[in-house]
Structure 1
Amino acid sequence: MTVKLGANRYGKAETRLVRVVKDGPVHHIKDVNVSTALSGDMEAAHLSGDNAAVLPTDSQKNTVFAFAREHGVAEIETFALLLARHFVETRPTVHHARVEVEEYAWNRRGPHSFVRDGGEVRTCVVHHDRDGRTTVVSGLKDLVVLNSTGSEFHGYIVDPYTTLQPTDDRVLATAVAARWRHTGQTPSYAKSYEQVRGALLEAFAGTHSLSLQQTLYAMGERALTTCPEICEVRLTLPNKHHFAVDLSPFGLDNDNEVFHAADRPYGLIEGGVLREDAPDAGFAWE
């Protein structure tokens, strides 16, 4: 039997970084989680234990901290681009860098006092390789939304194991995870983030839903028509089921007013929406 080394990469996962910018008595903070992964001429490390081509993961972590001091942390996409290009362009054995950043928001309560925002997490993934190809994917996760009506589900396949009853009025709730790919240089990642986020929320609220799949497509379509700087949106929507409770044993009616919010199992709807002329990403987003 003959075996060979397959695709591989290595890096430092989840470097927690808080950067404080002091503007006199007023402070500003960036709270991020940075993961780096490198690939290239690394075969010897796997096959013979020769580490001459390996940049230690500890060095990758230290680079994150040093770059935060030297360059600051403005938009997470810009910071990820700086890191990815640095690893590829300064290390001959590194042919591809992947940098993922998650940002956690804080709300100001004073010049140097903050309260953690419990809302969604802003995300990005940057790929850069030795051929000069760069892909920037922005996103968010844990954006929890709910429509208390305006959602139906019926006309589906019925088989011997089907117990679900059709409905023309249900709660539709999900925790949105969305990623969108930029076509090239985006003038302001912060502005495009707010545009896409707003479009996703508007489409979710404004779509009379016959299925969560239909809502997913409407959200992706609205994001693409709102923000011309992006060419593809990928969405992951867990269906956070809300079941109307049968109150008849207690002599009470329930006109979709009292629900049991079930956390599992749950339906998981995933899909992408893209422009017809969207360029190939060059490599996987993940």
Structure 2
Amino acid sequence: MARGHRPGRTGGVARLPQDATARFLAYVEAIEPVLAEAGRYVVTFNEPNMVGVMAAVRAGQGSLTTGLGGGLPTPHDPTVQALIAAHRATRDYLHARHPHLLVGWTIANQVVQALPGGEAGAQTYREAIEDQFLRVSCEDDFVGVQSYTRNRVGPEGVLPPPEDAPRTLTGWEYYPPALGEAVRHTAEVVGPAVPILVTENGIATADDAQRIAYTQAALVGLAAAMADGIDVRGYLHWSLLDNYEWGHYGPTFGLIAVDRATFIRTPKPSLSWLGEWAKRGELEPPAES
């Protein structure tokens, strides 16, 4: 939606303006000089699938708390269709005016795993939460993968993490293989012609040694996917700084700590570890020192 605009509500259902695409294109036109000069990659919407989920919550069709056990609500379809229309219109507009720009969007990858008897449910859940958005990316210049954990689906639906599984500060299961699995599934949906960028991957933890271990394992999985021929063009860690996440400052994802009273920023060991790996320019990260 254009900046400053909020969809109204009628009878508990989100009401979208008929000119949502035109409004968003007006915003794109206003920032066009910045887009044209800032670089090559343009992301129209960050995690449109989560925007659709939040719209469903706002419309009274579910709760985000179910994401820790029971699955996320089905994205609000009118919002989804508005996002798709605005995304496509923006891509076409920028391609026509700035052919050098590569346009795509980023998807919150759910890494859906079917347990015995949960195959049909997993397929339905994956289609609603992820795949319908990935298929839009088949028309784009790239797709962004954003991966942190997994979702297991049994005969009774999406399950909470195993009782003995370690969890992060967000309550998600600690599951580093999610990145490699997300990249592989994305490649299956969008096909070999669409490059992949890892636009988010990280862990909310107060233990920086755990952050290094998670990131190293995630990158090993990413390297294996690339070795199998998947076209991955880059990796962005989430995040540089401990920031405001999900309504508070508690989930610390950052490579740099931030004191919220003094605003002093303190680099963590994970920052130099990841920096040294990046400077090497190799797929396999260095061992933890």
Higher strand share: 1
Same fold by TM (over 0.5)?
no
- With the length of structure 1 as denominator, give the TM-score of the two structures: 0.31
Higher helix share: 2
